[in-house]
Amino acid sequence: METVILNSKSKSDIKLLVDLAKKIGIKTRVLSESEIEEIGLSFAIEEGRTKQYVNTDKYIKKLRR
């Protein structure tokens, strides 16, 4: 299975693409704002993961600066 996420400011362009996808037998789904945020957050978490121990005290001190 392959997935494509399209983003446009034009609702008519998105509607055209969704209609075309349905016509050729591709399933579509419109994501809610919160679902989009969840995806972005999961990408950010995955990108930032280093699998190394973080010293909590040093981290808190840096945040307080």
Q: State the pLDDT at residue 23.
A: 97
Range(s) of the domain holding residue 47: 11-64
Give the residue, 55 or 35, on which the prediction is more confident.
35
Give the model confidence (pLDDT) of 5-54 as tens digits: 898 999 999 999 999 999 999 999 989 989 999 999 998 888 887 778 88
Tell me if 2 is assigned to some domain: no
Tell me if 36 is assigned to some domain: yes
Tell me if 3 is assigned to some domain: no
CA-to-CA dists, residue 20 to 12, 30, 31, 58, 63, angstroms: 12, 14, 18, 53, 48
Tell me if 5 is assigned to some domain: no
Q: State the pLDDT at residue 25.
A: 96
Count of domains observed in the chain: 1
Q: State the pLDDT at residue 49.
A: 78
Backbone φ and ψ for 24, nearest 5 degrees, come out as: -95, 10
Residue 38, CA atoms < 13 Å, CB-side half-sphere: 5
Report how far residue 29's alpha carbon sits from residue 42's, in angstroms, rounded to the nearest whole number: 19
Residue 65 has pLDDT above 90, yes or no: no
Tell me if 44 is assigned to some domain: yes
